[in-house]
Chains A and B, each alone.
Chain A
């Protein structure tokens, strides 16, 4: 994935309305009218958001000429998640050791409390 494409994906995901649109499309394709319904927003405003999502490759248009239903394109999303994966694994390795250390500290504290009595 090119850095430019990744920028477009993350810029598209940065907006809560666009994330809500993607969440809606994850349960099936929908027309602009259907997509606009849950939002206190005009159809042109929704269309603007859809354009950003389309440019990022996250949404495509179906064949039905009249409704032009929008569909979720999962691949860029998967790539964006993949991009975070090594970072996540690096931290998870550290945090799993921290879990073990915290268990040890908890046991130690209990012992000390008992010793004080």
Chain B
């Protein structure tokens, strides 16, 4: 089993990104943290200074959801979609489309939670409509200056000095 706290990120095929992360908590708590707006707002806000200003969640298949992030200078970034599958506390499949279409088309996001020995493995797959769309989406954290600028990421990393140093030591 993977270590808690290590984010594994990989590409699969030419239009999918798969993230795996283990949390030291039972699955129902992780599911709550992903589906309750008051909890989502506490962790899912991106770089420091940003907030998850609008958080409307889907709670059954066929329902729509919508998130809007707001930056320190008032910049907003919104996205939303429809959940096609919704199986608490183990699986959700939802479409994802940003208001500002920095990648073409919509993506299909599959969230899976598996619990083992009190720990939960989250697998998050994002399937884009084309390899170009995936590339554009991955570039965003760097080039889309608004939400996820490099400088803010640096601040974020500086606020976790221990982990940042570990990462530095492991880099090639």
Contacts and interface: CB of A to CB of B under 8 A. Distances in A.
Interface stretch (A34-42, A47-55, A56-64, A92-100): A92-100
Contacts of A105: 25, 29, 32-33, 39
Interface stretch (A6-14, A21-29, A65-73): A6-14
Contact of B135 (A7, A78, A91): A7
Contact of B9 (A84, A94, A102): A84
Interface stretch (B57-65, B78-86, B87-95, B152-160): B152-160
Interface in B120-172: 131-132, 135, 138, 140-142, 148, 150, 153, 156-157, 160, 163, 172
A86 interface: yes
A93 B13 CA distance: 26
B160 A96 contact: yes
Contacts, number: 99
Nearest to A86: B141
Contacts of A14: 11-14
Nearest to A89: B153
Contact of A102 (B25, B141, B142): B25
A88 B7 contact: yes
B131 A101 contact: no
Interface string A72-112: 00100010000110111111111111111111011001000
Contact of B7 (A3, A95, A97, A102): A95
A106 B29 contact: yes
A89 B141 contact: yes
A6 B135 contact: yes
B21 interface: yes
7 contacts: A84-B11, A88-B9, A93-B153, A95-B21, A102-B29, A105-B25, A106-B25
Interface of B: 4-5, 7, 9-14, 17, 19, 21, 23-26, 29-30, 32-33, 39, 42-47, 131-132, 135, 138, 140-142, 148, 150, 153, 156-157, 160, 163, 172
Given A13-B11, A84-B138, A95-B23, 12 more contacts: A7-B131, A14-B13, A87-B9, A87-B17, A88-B7, A91-B21, A94-B44, A95-B7, A97-B43, A101-B33, A105-B32, A106-B26
